């Protein structure tokens, strides 16, 4: 059982700064997912916690004890790698027992611990096999088993599911979540898949180019994104961003102008006040695809043309071009009639749920 705290952690490879000071506190037993696009420094951050990369500056504490100078083996952690990193010349049993043997744990206890782990992970029938004789999902389980037999204070996962096919990924995701809850071990989990992040995390750290843009529970991050980056990264399809919606010098026909005016009056008063206060050319309006819906012309907030549609069964995505050649996505239930590409359409906005961002992409709280 452990807490982890990162204090202003930075990392530079030579002159190349890749982590620019990250602060986070992880509670005992919490499942934290670090999510962000490729190359943003997720693995580097995780490897610093593991002790596989030197911490350039700042401090990492596990259980309130500074670990910057400790070797990986002294940190009481276990890590699951993206490529599993199993010992290819050892049987499944030996793979799991390796760390225990080094720790000089008595033979019968090793046997018992490995067997228990194998039972949890349904690996009993494979203990004598070599990793090359296993499927991807089984290898993944062995890697998990190797981590859990040691009963570490912290689990670290670096994209453990990214080599699996989509179906297995969903299944393993559930298994990992259940296992972590059962064992109650504090976990850091790196992924670039935002669905994985949403489903697994107690809280998530959304990283962007070496910074932690936002830390919070999945729904909190989804509903209340602190930057355009987070709003665009979390959620699929991403949040719609609209610029210059209310600029004065637009050449709009009368019905479009009426719609815009209607939108302005329907916005919450604080939002329209902010829009009028500031130079609104620089503001970005964000709205989730599910907060848009098709409507009759007299109630429309936006008028556009359907570019193409994606019927997914349970839901349908409509890609619609609105004024200033901006394309937005609208998500509606699958049983609602789908307009044809090229049709004009009338959109109503759930104005209470609009997010405002400043010119730097930072959220304006209202």
Which residues here bind another protein, judged by CB under 8 A? 50-52, 71-73, 77-79, 81-83, 85-89, 98-99, 102-103, 130, 132, 146, 150
Taking CA atoms, 268 is separated from 54, 182, 276, in Å, by: 49, 45, 12
Applying CB under 6 A, which part among 38-46, 73-81, 317-325, 334-342 lies near ligand ATP? 38-46
Q: Which is nearer to another protein, 190 or 345 (CB)?
A: 190
Q: Which is nearer to another protein, 81 or 319 (CB)?
A: 81
Smallest distance, another protein to C-beta of residue 152, A: 9
* Residue 39 is a binding residue for ligand ATP (CB under 6 A): yes
- Asked if residues 309 and 338 have their Cβ atoms less than 8 Å apart, the reply is yes
Task: Say which entry of Mg ion, ligand ATP, another protein, none residue 89 contacts (CB below 5 to 8 A, set by partner kind).
Answer: another protein
Q: Which is nearer to another protein, 37 or 99 (CB)?
A: 99
* Residue 12 is a binding residue for ligand ATP (CB under 6 A): no
- Asked if residues 341 and 335 have their Cβ atoms less than 8 Å apart, the reply is no
Taking CA atoms, 302 is separated from 80, 194, 254, 325, in Å, by: 48, 29, 12, 13
Smallest distance, ligand ATP to C-beta of residue 85, A: 15
- Asked if residues 208 and 229 have their Cβ atoms less than 8 Å apart, the reply is yes
Question: What does the block give as tokens for 184?
Answer: 């109650």
Q: Which is nearer to ligand ATP, 195 or 264 (CB)?
A: 195
CA distance 97 to 90: 10
Alpha helices in the chain (DSSP H): 42-50, 92-102, 107-120, 136-149, 166-183, 194-200, 218-223, 228-233, 254-266, 269-277
Burial class (CB in 10 A: 0-12, 13-18, 19+), 162: middle
CA distance 7 to 19: 12
* Residue 40 is a binding residue for ligand ATP (CB under 6 A): yes
- What DSSP character marks residue 53? S
Applying CB under 6 A, which part among 36-44, 84-92, 96-104, 300-308 lies near ligand ATP? 36-44
- Asked if residues 176 and 141 have their Cβ atoms less than 8 Å apart, the reply is no
Q: Which is nearer to ligand ATP, 81 or 241 (CB)?
A: 81
Contacts of ligand ATP in 173-192 (CB under 6 A): 192
Q: Give SS3 for 279.
A: coil
Contacts of ligand ATP in 43-62 (CB under 6 A): 43-44
CA distance 22 to 148: 28
- Other Cβ atoms less than 10 A from the Cβ of 287: the count is 24
Smallest distance, another protein to C-beta of residue 219, A: 33
Smallest distance, Mg ion to C-beta of residue 162, A: 9
Q: Which is nearer to Mg ion, 39 or 268 (CB)?
A: 39
- Cis check: omega of the bond before 237, within 30 degrees of 0: yes
Applying CB under 6 A, which part among 12-20, 167-175, 232-240, 284-292 lies near ligand ATP? 12-20
Of 35, 43, 93, 160, the residue at the interface with Mg ion (CB under 5 A) is 43
Q: Which is nearer to ligand ATP, 46 or 78 (CB)?
A: 46
* Residue 38 is a binding residue for ligand ATP (CB under 6 A): yes
HEC-encoded secondary structure of 163-204: CCCHHHHHHHHHHHHHHHHHHCCEEEEEECCHHHHHHHCCEE
* Residue 208 is a binding residue for ligand ATP (CB under 6 A): no
Smallest distance, ligand ATP to C-beta of residue 36, A: 6
Task: Say which entry of another protein, Mg ion, ligand ATP, none residue 146 contacts (CB below 5 to 8 A, set by partner kind).
Answer: another protein
* Residue 18 is a binding residue for ligand ATP (CB under 6 A): yes
Of 42, 141, 301, 348, the residue at the interface with ligand ATP (CB under 6 A) is 42
Binding site for ligand ATP (CB under 6 A): 13, 16, 18, 36, 38-44, 192
Binding site for Mg ion (CB under 5 A): 43
């Amino acid at each position: 059982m452990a807490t982890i705290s990162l204090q202003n952690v930075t990392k530079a490879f030579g002159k190349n700064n890749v982590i620019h000071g990250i602060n986070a506190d992880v509670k005992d037993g919490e499942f934290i997912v670090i999510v962000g696009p490729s190359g943003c420094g997720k693995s580097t951050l995780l490897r610093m916690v593991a002790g596989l990369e030197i911490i350039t500056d700042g401090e990492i504490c596990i259980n309130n004890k500074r670990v910057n100078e400790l070797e990986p083996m002294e940190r009481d952690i276990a890590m699951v790698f993206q490529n599993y990193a199993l010992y290819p010349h050892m049987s499944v049993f030996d793979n799991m027992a390796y760390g225990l043997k080094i720790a000089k744990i008595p033979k019968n206890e090793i046997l018992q611990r490995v067997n228990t782990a194998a039972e949890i992970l349904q690996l009993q029938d494979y203990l004598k096999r070599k990793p090359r004789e296993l499927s991807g999902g089984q290898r993944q389980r062995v890697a998990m088993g190797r981590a859990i037999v040691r009963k570490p204070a912290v689990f670290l996962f670096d994209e453990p599911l990214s080599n699996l096919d989509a179906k297995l990924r969903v299944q393993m995701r559930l298994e990992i979540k259940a296992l972590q809850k059962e064992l109650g071990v504090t976990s850091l989990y790196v992924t670039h898949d935002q669905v994985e992040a949403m489903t697994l995390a107690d809280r998530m750290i959304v990283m962007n180019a070496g910074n932690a843009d936002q830390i919070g529970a999945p729904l909190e991050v989804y509903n209340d994104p602190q930057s355009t980056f987070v709003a665009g990264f979390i959620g699929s399809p991403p949040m719609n961003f609209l610029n210059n919606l209310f600029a004065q010098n637009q050449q709009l026909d009368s019905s479009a102008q009426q719609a815009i005016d209607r939108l302005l009056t329907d916005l919450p008063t604080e939002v329209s006040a902010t829009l009028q206060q500031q130079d609104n050319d620089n503001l970005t309006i964000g709205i989730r695809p599910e907060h848009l819906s098709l409507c009759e012309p007299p109630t429309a907030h936006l008028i556009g043309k359907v570019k193409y549609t994606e019927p997914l069964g349970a839901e349908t995505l409509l890609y619609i071009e609105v004024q200033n050649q901006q394309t937005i996505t609208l998500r509606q239930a699958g049983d609602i009639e789908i307009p044809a590409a090229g049709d004009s359409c009338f959109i109503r906005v759930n104005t209470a749920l609009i997010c405002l961002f400043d010119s730097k992409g930072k959220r304006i709280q209202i």
